[in-house]
């Protein structure tokens, strides 16, 4: 875990430094634009004065086709001022300019996770980590171990189990939890976030009994006698989760700062935060404004939060609370997940005849839910995993474009895991962004053919087909569903293999991405998906000075070894915000 022992340089975490940086960032926009338009527009003297630091002696992959590899970059007021050879840039030093030797290392733009749950990840530090547990017994042991430290009635929270990893591969029963935790409510979320395993104490608190009907868009699984089994699907999860006492604000902030350190150490400079609750907006804003969160968070509000109305009314908040935190969009759900067989499919699940998953609302009600957000200028992002849900969302986007044409941000489909062949071309045609998580493919590939059947699997994780149809795919991980490590996503994208290199040639290897496309997905395409392609995504003069120094050159190594890459340093807005011992 040494990777995660981020060391902030004292000066970079101080509020005053970040406030200065933020204040400067607005000014630089103008300077840089002039620079991009033509360096001649600025006098050489002025240009040099703006340079605060020069990073030199690197193999810097800029992701800018105009100048793909350079040795050095100069930075000032949070932006790239110039790129070029070490000799060129060092020749223009003036007193006070810092120089940082990259030691010949490879550098790429800082990575952005285009679909993540950052606060959810932050809160995990307080929860049992059940990712990778191989049996129900292992989960019960972890719950047991927690009990002695708790008072009667305290909640036990956990996340990450996956019954597909167990020998019997079937849902557990609440009785197993009741045996070890009769007095403490237990709430354990499945790895996908769309199912929960709870005990009788939690069901009692939520008022769930044999007489409780399934909520709309959800299922309370019941046994042969009609009693709840302790497994809740999709909207039924909320019946219990809303009974969990909220974290105090200060605790939330502390966990978020710690989570940002982990992300920076993993090579991420920001995330598209999918689903921000009304009560949390001010938490992000306060942290960001105080300079305590050196991390770019592009926020999508939880449209289904009952307290969200004032935020809908207020419209997007570009830059409020500092440029690091923005609210650009709103998040909706069309269906569940393939793992829990609640993703909505056009035809039955191949391994569960009669089940086509759960479409959370009709096309008409989805249209009516989205409309007011779109009219306010929010970017729309709808979770859709099954081919029926993807089709519904495309239909709704098509209807919006036809009935309410408005020049707004391009809408997104989050996940788009299974797309019917006839719908692939509709994304580009409608200007809809397929926001995908490459690592889901390699996580799911061992069982997804069972769910979908041989014919339908052709449209699963169909990256190459989507790109061939004219789309750009922003890369995400959906963490904490998956690891925060973006190199695992890049590896999955270029190999479609697990970490052991299986299967040979990759699972449906014809859908693999090139390395340029995979790195591009987490840089250029992530910026494109958030409509900041003029500001981020490549090391181009005028854009944010966000980049990472790598242990190995990702562009000249065996793809199988990409997961072993370590991030030696992370630079955000020109400042080193993470530095490993090896740099």
**Part in contact with Zn ion (CB under 5 A); list of ranges 198-206, 266-274, 294-302, 506-514:** 266-274
Ramachandran angles phi, psi of 578, nearest 5° = -145, 140
Q: Is 555:565 a contact under the CB 8 Å cutoff?
A: no
CA angle at residue 350 from 344 to 355, to 5 degrees? 45
Write down the least CB distance from residue 481 to Zn ion, Å.
6
**Part in contact with Zn ion (CB under 5 A); list of ranges 135-143, 268-276, 297-305, 368-376:** 268-276
Strand order in the sheet with 195-198: 128-129, 156-161, 186-190, 195-198, 228-234, 218-222
Q: Is 57:101 a contact under the CB 8 Å cutoff?
A: yes
**Part in contact with Zn ion (CB under 5 A); list of ranges 221-229, 284-292, 477-485, 547-555:** 477-485
d(CA 179, CA 176): 6
Please identify, using beta-carbon distances, which residue of 530 and 565 lies nearer to Zn ion.
530
Please identify, using beta-carbon distances, which residue of 274 and 515 lies nearer to Zn ion.
274
Write down the least CB distance from residue 331 to Zn ion, Å.
8
Write down the least CB distance from residue 433 to Zn ion, Å.
15
Query: Could you give the string, one character per residue 218-257, with x where binding to Zn ion holds by CB under 5 A and - elsewhere?
Result: ----------------------------------------
Report CA dihedral (167, 169, 171, 177) to the nearest 10 degrees. 20
Write down the least CB distance from residue 117 to Zn ion, Å.
6
Write down the least CB distance from residue 437 to Zn ion, Å.
8
Ramachandran angles phi, psi of 118, nearest 5° = -65, -45
Ramachandran angles phi, psi of 99, nearest 5° = -120, 135
Please identify, using beta-carbon distances, which residue of 75 and 436 lies nearer to Zn ion.
436
Write down the least CB distance from residue 442 to Zn ion, Å.
17
Please identify, using beta-carbon distances, which residue of 274 and 287 lies nearer to Zn ion.
274
Hey, is 391 helix, strand or coil?
helix
d(CA 33, CA 254): 37
CB atoms closer than 10 angstroms to residue 5: 12
Ramachandran angles phi, psi of 401, nearest 5° = -65, -35
Please identify, using beta-carbon distances, which residue of 136 and 276 lies nearer to Zn ion.
276
Burial of 361: CB neighbours in 10 Å, binned 0-12, 13-18, 19+: middle
With contacts defined by CB under 5 A, how many residues of the chain interact with Zn ion? 2
Residues 6+ apart with CB under 8 A from 454: none
Ramachandran angles phi, psi of 39, nearest 5° = -60, -25
Please identify, using beta-carbon distances, which residue of 275 and 409 lies nearer to Zn ion.
275
Burial code of 90-129, b = ≥16 C-beta within 10 A, e = fewer? bebeeeebeebebeebbbbbbbbbbbbbbbbbbbbeebbe
Please identify, using beta-carbon distances, which residue of 53 and 233 lies nearer to Zn ion.
233
Locate all alpha helices (DSSP H) within 330-362, ordered by sequence: none
Ramachandran angles phi, psi of 201, nearest 5° = -60, -40
Query: Could you give the string, one character per residue 136-155, with x where binding to Zn ion holds by CB under 5 A and - elsewhere?
Result: --------------------
Which run of H or E residues covers position 570?
A: strand 567-572
Write down the least CB distance from residue 363 to Zn ion, Å.
22
d(CA 529, CA 94): 38
Beta strands in 334-478 (DSSP E): 379-384, 412-415, 433-435
Please identify, using beta-carbon distances, which residue of 417 and 497 lies nearer to Zn ion.
417
Q: Report if residue 335 touches Zn ion, rule: CB under 5 A.
A: no
**Part in contact with Zn ion (CB under 5 A); list of ranges 142-150, 221-229, 418-426, 472-480:** 472-480
Q: Report if residue 478 touches Zn ion, rule: CB under 5 A.
A: yes
Residue nearest Zn ion (C-beta atom): 478
**Part in contact with Zn ion (CB under 5 A); list of ranges 129-137, 273-281, 336-344, 354-362:** 273-281
Write down the least CB distance from residue 300 to Zn ion, Å.
10
Q: Report if residue 285 touches Zn ion, rule: CB under 5 A.
A: no
**Part in contact with Zn ion (CB under 5 A); list of ranges 44-52, 59-67, 272-280, 521-529:** 272-280
**Part in contact with Zn ion (CB under 5 A); list of ranges 392-400, 478-486, 532-540, 567-575:** 478-486
Write down the least CB distance from residue 163 to Zn ion, Å.
20
Please identify, using beta-carbon distances, which residue of 335 and 478 lies nearer to Zn ion.
478
d(CA 288, CA 283): 9
Write down the least CB distance from residue 271 to Zn ion, Å.
11
Please identify, using beta-carbon distances, which residue of 463 and 578 lies nearer to Zn ion.
463
Write down the least CB distance from residue 370 to Zn ion, Å.
18
Write down the least CB distance from residue 383 to Zn ion, Å.
7
Please identify, using beta-carbon distances, which residue of 109 and 329 lies nearer to Zn ion.
329
Using CB under 5 A, list all residues that contact Zn ion: 274, 478
């Amino acid at each position: 875990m040494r990777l995660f022992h981020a060391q902030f340089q004292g000066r970079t975490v101080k509020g005053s430094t970040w406030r200065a940086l933020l204040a400067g960032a607005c000014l630089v926009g103008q300077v840089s634009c002039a620079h991009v338009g033509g360096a001649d527009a600025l006098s050489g003297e002025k240009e040099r004065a703006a340079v605060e630091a020069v990073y030199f002696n690197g193999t810097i992959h800029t992701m800018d086709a105009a100048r793909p590899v350079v040795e050095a970059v100069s930075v000032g007021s949070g932006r790239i001022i110039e790129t070029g050879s070490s000799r060129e840039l060092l020749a223009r030093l003036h007193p006070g300019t810092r120089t940082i030797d990259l030691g010949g290392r490879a550098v790429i733009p800082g990575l952005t996770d285009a679909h993540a749950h950052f606060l959810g990840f932050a809160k995990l530090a307080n929860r049992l980590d059940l990712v990778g547990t191989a049996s129900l017994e292992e989960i019960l042991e972890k719950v047991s171990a927690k009990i002695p430290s708790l008072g009667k009635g305290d909640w036990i929270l956990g996340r990450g189990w996956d019954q597909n990893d167990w020998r019997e591969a079937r849902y557990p029963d609440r009785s197993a939890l009741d045996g070890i935790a009769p007095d403490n409510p237990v709430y354990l979320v499945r790895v996908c976030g769309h199912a929960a395993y709870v005990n009788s104490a939690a069901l009692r608190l939520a008022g769930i009994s044999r007489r409780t009907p399934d909520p709309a868009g959800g299922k309370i699984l019941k046994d042969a006698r009609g009693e709840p089994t302790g497994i809740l699907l999709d909207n039924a999860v909320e019946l219990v989760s809303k009974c969990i006492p909220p974290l105090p604000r200060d605790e939330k902030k502390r966990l978020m700062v710690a989570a940002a350190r982990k992300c920076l150490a993993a090579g991420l400079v920001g995330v598209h935060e999918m689903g921000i609750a009304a009560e949390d907006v001010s938490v992000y804003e306060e942290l960001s404004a105080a300079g305590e969160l050196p991390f770019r968070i592009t926020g999508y509000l939880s449209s289904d939060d009952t307290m969200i109305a004032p935020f809908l009314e207020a419209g997007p908040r570009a830059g409020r609370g500092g440029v690091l935190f923005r609210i650009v969009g709103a998040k909706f759900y069309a269906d569940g997940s393939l793992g829990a067989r609640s993703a909505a499919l056009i035809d039955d699940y191949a391994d569960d005849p009669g089940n086509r998953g759960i479409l959370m609302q009709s096309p008409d009600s989805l249209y009516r839910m989205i409309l007011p957000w779109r009219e306010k200028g929010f970017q729309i992002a709808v979770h859709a995993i099954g081919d029926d849900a993807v089709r519904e969302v495309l239909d709704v986007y098509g209807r919006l474009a036809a009935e309410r044409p408005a020049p707004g941000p391009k809408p997104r489909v989050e996940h788009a895991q299974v797309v019917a062949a006839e719908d692939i071309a509709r994304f580009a045609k409608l200007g809809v962004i397929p926001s995908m998580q490459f690592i889901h493919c390699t996580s799911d590939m061992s069982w997804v053919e069972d769910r979908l059947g041989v014919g339908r699997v052709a449209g699963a994780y169909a990256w190459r087909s989507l790109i061939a149809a004219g789309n750009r795919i922003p890369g995400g991980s959906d963490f904490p569903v998956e690891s925060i490590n973006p190199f695992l996503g890049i590896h999955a994208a270029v190999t479609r293999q697990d970490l052991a290199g299986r299967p040979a040639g990759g699972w449906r290897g014809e859908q693999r991405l090139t390395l340029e496309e995979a790195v591009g997905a987490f840089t250029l395409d992530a910026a494109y998906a958030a409509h900041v392609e003029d500001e981020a995504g490549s090391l181009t003069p005028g854009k944010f000075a966000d980049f990472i120094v790598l242990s190995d050159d990702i562009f000249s190594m065996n793809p199988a070894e990409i997961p072993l890459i370590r991030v030696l340093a992370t630079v955000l807005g020109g400042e080193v915000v993470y530095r490993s011992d090896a740099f």
